[in-house]
Homo-oligomer: A and B are copies of this chain.
Amino acid sequence: MSTVATATAKEVFDLLHEDLAAIEREFGQDAVSAVPAITEISDYLREGGGKRIRPSLLLLAARALGYSGKGMIKLGAVVEMVHTATLVHDDIIDAADTRRGRPSTNRTWGSSKCVLVGDWLYMQAFRIALSERKFRVLELLIGLTQQMVEGELMQMEKLGKPISESEYNDLIYRKTACLFEVSMRLGACLSGADRPLEDALGEYGRSLGLAFQIIDDVLDLTATEQVLGKPVASDLREGKATLAVIHALENGILPADRTRIHTVLRDRTFDYVSHEEILRILNCNQSVAYAMNTAYAYAATAQAALAVLPDSDYKRALQWMPEFVVARDK
């Protein structure tokens, strides 16, 4: 599907290694407050790691357009900080016990402190973004945060109920793709790109994010706990219908199978219908294949959106991302 040779994981890692290390240092310095609880919780979250995919996108977008200033380090830390703030608040809402294999912050520090630390991280992210003195940057970040917050509220309303494919698309856009899109747009902004160019890179981020989340949701259904490193089928156990499940429900499966899926969603447990049984239904109806193909299509859309960029190592790294995202097994 690509038009130029794509990079390898190693090449991308080498390409971004120094910039990402600088972002890590920036985040570490930015998330220091006179209030010890803030610094403590921020450090805990930062040390918890994560793929740093959002700052990587921002760096690649900026560098692919010839930018090399300090702004990309600052805004790279900003997108990671916004991401972290949403995780802190989401963990409170889901009453999560763990995050990335460690106790969640609300578990360790209590929900009250975590509400405030999440607020603080949002504000700190905006404060750093403000220092770039670009209204467009603030517009993107504030709009993004609002979309994500609305998405989380929409998801709460839908728990335990089947949703349509278009509702699912909207939810995963808000949950994941919106921040991927904004990361790309911010990189474009820094380089002084005009709106059509920013839009093209935004389209890349959006499509990549949708592919990323669809695959995440498929893996939650199909992977083993051993490979995934966390409990599987957590979406269904939380009452969340994801693409393969929606496809099965919308595509004329046997009424008995439909009832089985509804039962799991409603009861949020595999006590009455097993996880294996659900997988059998999804595979019978080609629903997992449908979800995978949808992700492949988004990955191809992402790659096509890169046609606006001049050839470079950074463009090749961007070409590689969608392939990596759809091929991963965890």
Residue positions of A touching B, CB distance < 8 A: 33-35, 37-38, 89, 92-93, 111-113, 115-120, 122-124, 126-127, 130, 133, 135, 138-139, 142-143, 145-146, 149-150, 152-154, 156-157
Contact = CB atoms under 8 A, between A and B. Distances in A.
Given A111-B111, A115-B93, A126 B127 contact: no
A130 B142 contact: yes
A123 B138 contact: no
Contacts of A142: 123, 126-127, 130
* Chain A binding surface SS class: helix
B150 A33 contact: yes
A149 B135 contact: no
Contacts of A89: 115-116, 119
Contacts of A135: 130, 133
B149 A119 contact: yes
6 contacts: A37-B153, A37-B156, A93-B116, A116-B156, A122-B122, A126-B142
B138 A130 contact: yes
Given A130-B138, A143-B127, A38 B116 contact: no
Given A127-B143, A142-B130, A120 B156 contact: no
Given A34-B150, A93-B116, 13 more contacts: A35-B154, A35-B157, A89-B115, A92-B111, A115-B118, A120-B153, A123-B142, A123-B146, A123-B149, A126-B126, A126-B138, A127-B146, A130-B139
Nearest to A143: B127
A155 to B, nearest CB: 10
Contacts of A117: 153
Contacts of A111: 92, 111
Contacts of A146: 120, 123-124, 127
A92 B150 CA distance: 19
A89 B89 CA distance: 12
Contacts of A145: 119, 123
Which of A34, A93, A127, A149 has the most CB atoms of chain B within a 10 A radius of its CB?
A149
A33 B143 CA distance: 13
A92 B120 contact: no
B35 A116 contact: no
Contacts of A150: 33-35, 38, 120
Contacts of A118: 115, 119
4 closest A-B pairs by CB: A93-B112, A123-B146, A119-B149, A35-B153
Contacts of A133: 135
B37 A157 contact: yes
A37 to B, nearest CB: 6
A34 B113 CA distance: 29
B113 A153 contact: yes
Contacts of A139: 130
Given A138-B130, A150-B34, A156 B122 contact: no
Contacts of A93: 112, 115-116
Contacts of A33: 150
A30 to B, nearest CB: 12
